[in-house]
Amino acid sequence: MNNSLITYLQLLAPIPEGDQTLIMASFRKRIAKEGEYLFKGGYVCTEMFFICSGVLKITVTDEKGADITHYFIKENQFCTILKSFDNSVNAPENIVAACDAEVLVVNRRELLALYQKLPYLKTLIDQITQQRLLDKIQVRNSYLGKDAATRYKLFMMQQSDIALRVSLQDIASYLEITPQSLSRIRKNPLIGI
């Protein structure tokens, strides 16, 4: 099984070999094709994903039935709808594969049992999750008050690895501009990208 999860965790803290086995036994591999929903809003999100390859996106379905992209999450990151996962409440958000992806999945019950056996793991995953939330806020805040062309330029500078793998429709949705506007921005030689 892909042990990129263990490799990632060990960058942050040593994981004894026996604990590695317990951790990997709790996660299962899942392949998601581009556009596939890993979680559909309206329910309680009971799974946490660790992204081995690919990009996932958090979306919300608007009143017209269109998915609006709020965030992209890439390799070596955990993904869930945190409020729903932690508090067992229904979530309006979706988790969708923005491109083909391989993830490791653990359900809430199994993760809580793992935390009982390895209390340090909860602290470690909580720290990772908190830092990622702060990172997402910082990136989103960098777009505030900027015009569409500047938001696109910032996106290309801050998240170019994601830009190369997701659809232009997703990028336009994430940047809160129309696909037509994004097309015009991309054709403008003054953007410098």
116 and 166 assigned to the same domain: no
Identify whether 56 is part of a domain.
Answer: yes
Q: Indicate the range of 11-15, 165-169, 176-180, 188-192 predicted with least confidence.
A: 188-192
7 and 100 assigned to the same domain: yes
- What SS3 class is residue 21? helix
- Find out whether 78 and 85 touch, Cβ atoms under 8 Å: no
Q: Per-residue pLDDT for 7 more than 80?
A: yes
Q: Per-residue pLDDT for 90 more than 80?
A: yes
Q: Per-residue pLDDT for 1 more than 50?
A: no
86 and 119 assigned to the same domain: yes
10 and 57 assigned to the same domain: yes
Residues sharing a CB contact under 8 Å with residue 3, sequence separation 6 or more, in sequence order: 20, 24
33 and 123 assigned to the same domain: yes
106 and 151 assigned to the same domain: no
Q: Cα(171)–Cα(7) distance, rounded to whole angstroms?
A: 30
**CATH code, domain with 84:** 2.60.120.10
CA dihedral 25, 27, 30, 36 (to 10 degrees): 160
Identify whether 10 is part of a domain.
Answer: yes
24 and 68 assigned to the same domain: yes
- Total domains in the fold of the chain: 2
Identify whether 139 is part of a domain.
Answer: no
CA distances from 69 to 74, 112, 175 (A): 14, 29, 8
Identify whether 138 is part of a domain.
Answer: no
β-bridge mates for residue 146, sequence order: none
Identify whether 87 is part of a domain.
Answer: yes
Identify whether 136 is part of a domain.
Answer: no
51 and 111 assigned to the same domain: yes
Summarize the confidence of residues 33-59 as an average pLDDT.
97
107 and 150 assigned to the same domain: no
123 and 183 assigned to the same domain: no
> Residue 16 — pLDDT band, cuts 50, 70, 90?
very high
Range of the domain at 157: 146-193
122 and 163 assigned to the same domain: no
Q: Per-residue pLDDT for 124 more than 50?
A: yes
Summarize the confidence of residues 61-68 as an average pLDDT.
90
124 and 152 assigned to the same domain: no
> Residue 193 — pLDDT band, cuts 50, 70, 90?
low
pLDDT at 189: 65
β-bridge mates for residue 61, sequence order: 67
pTM: 0.92
* Nearest Cα to Cα of residue 96 among 111, 110, 79: 79
Residue type for position 76: N
For a pLDDT cut of 70, what percent of the chain falls above it? 96
Residues sharing a CB contact under 8 Å with residue 54, sequence separation 6 or more, in sequence order: 32, 74, 75, 97, 98, 99, 100, 101, 102, 103, 165
